[in-house]
A and B are shown apart, each in its own frame.
Chain A
Amino acid sequence: MVRLLAVIERDLKKFKRNPVVLAMSIIMPILYLIILGNSFQGKLRGLPLVVISPEAGPYSEYFMDNLRAIEAGPQTFTIIRMKDQGDAIAGVRQGRYKGALIVPPDFDKRISLKRRAEVGLFLDNTDGISAEAIRNAVDGAFRFLEPEYVAIRERNDEKYLRSIDLYRKVDYYQSLVPGVVIMAIFLGTLTTGAFNLVMDRFLGIDESYLLTPLSKSHIVSGLIISGLSITTIIATLILVVSLLITGIPFPSVIKQGTSLFIVIILTTLCLLSMLFVILGRIKHPRIVGVLSGFLNVILFFPSGAIYPIASFPEWLKAFAKINPEVYAVDALKSILFKNAGLSTISGDIAFLLVFTIVTMTIAIATFKRTL
């Protein structure tokens, strides 16, 4: 026990003497929340749309009003008025606009005569997401094209679908919080634990403790425990800051706090042990750099933190079954958004626990006690 504590203390002291690493481990996940939150934003906004419309009658005027309503409300697009059809389409081709909407001069006339009336929407379909958003918004404006008010009467013989939200509303920023916490844990575990072993090896100072009577488990578990304490502090800090920024309500600090703390600790242990298995024999920190980006992508993106797992193809779903970050995200979402207790997330906790035990056993068994 004395020896284990010495391994832990050595590691913690060294970490403490490098405040830049500590500061970056805290700042990066928060920046991540801000940048990811603002770059995806859930819904698209402000897409430049060129509109050519004669506004020669009630229909085209009303259509234009609908478009302006969308511009002012959901702000899906920003309207730019133009006169020349050729210029408008060329602008889209040059990438200045995401789309060009052209209402022909005989639009009102054709509708009045109950003839087929068309508007043209030229889209930059290479940017599929923007194109789809504009198409849907314009389609909405087009469908409710009524020049005069028609009262909507409820009819008894029509079928209605009423959807009921089971939980309180979660906005896009809030929905990112579990992912940000997991990201913080991943970054924390990557710069502690096994990484310190790789650094010691790289600097050639691992010899000093390989020459002592420390056992394999002293070295491995000592580094994991010091990594755990550092990462837990960072992750907890990030969680608190994220909750404050996004305003997620927190009914019971004691009950929810304990559950969150358990999930954070288990997730950290999971990732630390897993990284020990992967990095256990690596001698150069550059390899850690290369692997870190790769691991982050293959663990984080399919974790359900950004996109629902249910929509994954089968093979990716199979991978999600053994990805510890999936269980961690699920547990955090349940606690934060569904107010779930420990019993609800017992499946997640069981997986994280088993994963930790298995990987830590492998890490100790495969650790090489010689040079």
Chain B
Amino acid sequence: MQNSKAIEVSGITKKFGPITAVDDVSFDVTEGEFFGFLGPNGAGKTTLIRMLTTLLKPTSGRAVVACCDVAKNPDAVRREIGVVPQAMTTDLDLTGHENMDIYGRFYGIPSKERKERIEYLLEMVGLTARANDLVAAYSGGMRRRLEVARVLVHRPKILFLDEPTIGLDPQSRHVVWDFLRKLRDGDSITIFLTTHYMEEAEALCNRVAIIDSGKIIALGSPDELKSQIPGNDIISLTLDNLSANTVEIIKNLPFVHKVNIENNTIRVYVDSGAQNLPVLMDEMKSSGMKVLSATVHEQSLEDVFIHYTGKSIREEETKKVSLLLGAGIPQKWGR
């Protein structure tokens, strides 16, 4: 069976004055695939999704989405896609049901079909009981779910989601994830998602493209991507003071593949991290180094990102999220 392409992008570029937001990006997405674009804020994810969904004209290159070229036949593309933009776009002065109904009418869906479809989707996202409340009274999570349900009214072939869980608490995030998984498994819809949460890309996507400064730096399934970095675990050590000598000592240990330094934290790429941590600690002690803290974790897409760019996505993101939620960051985030 030949898999046809849902999205074909070749050499797409978008410049805003002197800034190149998306730089010569090419990739394909197969029908039925759950494809993710992972990268920090400002990497060009939103610009890319806006070009693919006809909201921005590419400076050069081309993109075929669903059926047609986005620049040449945007209307036909719009009929085939559903897009959940990063900002919430439902009308606060309308009820959940009205939002969906009016949206369905924008696509010219007949009233009977519209009614059934809306009922089904509201049920799916668990908003049936609140359907006739004004969206202004919804919580952030509820509104986000409504956003997703709304763009499915016209049964799009491809669903685009730009940071679908940004600013949501972990619980609401899982509700959205479960919904997207159900959608992927049940409706054979192609899903294109951008995110800066490693966990999200890992949990949901068949394939992930890692994007930084407008360029794709790695592309593959989460497992493929992780297999590209040496070792299978990472030990992070925070030291009192760091010397070139210390790095040399660690590098020479037999189970160590690679060492990466960020401030006074060393990231050591190793095999069997749990067993080798005590060995590493002994080695540090005997060479007179004081270890302030040590953690072992399995490799994630975060590490893939660090492997390719030498910096972490998490660094700046954690600050933003903590401001957004006004609370501490759950430990597992980003790892």
Give me the interface of A with B, judged by CB distance under 8 Å.
Answer: 2-3, 5-7, 9-10, 13-14, 17-18, 204-215, 369-371
Contact = CB atoms under 8 A, between A and B. Distances in A.
A17 B95 CA distance: 11
B53 to A, nearest CB: 6
Interface stretch (B82-90, B184-192, B234-242): B82-90
Contacts of B56: 370-371
A21 B55 CA distance: 32
29 contacts: A3-B107, A3-B108, A5-B105, A6-B105, A6-B106, A7-B106, A10-B102, A14-B94, A17-B134, A204-B85, A205-B89, A205-B90, A207-B55, A207-B85, A207-B87, A207-B89, A208-B150, A209-B106, A211-B54, A211-B81, A211-B85, A211-B151, A212-B107, A213-B107, A213-B108, A370-B54, A370-B56, A371-B55, A371-B56
Contacts of A212: 78, 103, 106-107
Contact of B91 (A205, A207, A370): A205
B75 interface: yes
Interface string B85-129: 101111101100010001101111000000000000000000000
Contact of A10 (B74, B87, B91, B151): B91
Ranked nearest first, the 10 interchain pairs of A and B with the lowest CB-CB distance are A6-B105, A208-B89, A204-B87, A212-B106, A205-B89, A17-B93, A14-B93, A207-B85, A213-B78, A371-B55
Nearest to B160: A211
B130 interface: no
B288 to A, nearest CB: 57
B251 interface: no
B311 interface: no
Nearest to B109: A2
Contacts of B106: 3, 6-7, 209, 212-214
B5 interface: no
Nearest to B105: A6
A193 B105 CA distance: 20
Nearest to B108: A2
Contacts of A205: 87-91
Nearest to A219: B106
A178 B127 CA distance: 50
Which among B53, B90, B103 has the greatest number of chain A C-beta atoms within 10 A? B103
B79 interface: yes
B50 A371 contact: yes
A18 B107 CA distance: 27
A364 to B, nearest CB: 16
Contacts of A209: 106
Contacts of B103: 208, 212
B307 interface: no
Nearest to A10: B102
B257 interface: no
B57 interface: yes
A320 B39 CA distance: 58
B99 to A, nearest CB: 9
Given A7-B106, A209-B106, A211-B81, 14 more contacts: A18-B93, A204-B85, A204-B89, A205-B89, A207-B83, A207-B89, A208-B90, A211-B54, A211-B55, A212-B107, A213-B79, A213-B106, A213-B107, A370-B56
Which among B74, B75, B102 has the greatest number of chain A C-beta atoms within 10 A? B102
A371 B103 CA distance: 19
Contacts of B54: 211, 370
A204 to B, nearest CB: 4
B53 A211 contact: yes
Nearest to B81: A211
A321 B53 CA distance: 45
A31 to B, nearest CB: 27
A209 B90 CA distance: 10
A10 B102 CA distance: 7
A14 B78 CA distance: 25
A371 B81 CA distance: 17
A206 B90 CA distance: 10
A64 B89 CA distance: 75
Contacts of A17: 93-94, 134
Contacts of A215: 75
A369 B53 CA distance: 12
Interface in B252-280: none
Contacts of A208: 85, 89-90, 103, 150
Interface string B14-57: 00000000000000000000000000000000000010011111
A5 B91 CA distance: 17
Contacts of A206: 89
A64 B54 CA distance: 84
A369 B50 CA distance: 13
A149 B26 CA distance: 107
B85 A6 contact: no
Nearest to A6: B105
Nearest to A204: B87
B89 A9 contact: no
Contacts of A7: 106
Nearest to B150: A208
A6 B79 contact: no
Given A370-B54, A371-B55, A14 B91 contact: yes
A369 B106 CA distance: 15
B94 A10 contact: yes
Contacts of B81: 211
Contacts of A370: 54-57
B151 to A, nearest CB: 8
A13 B98 contact: yes
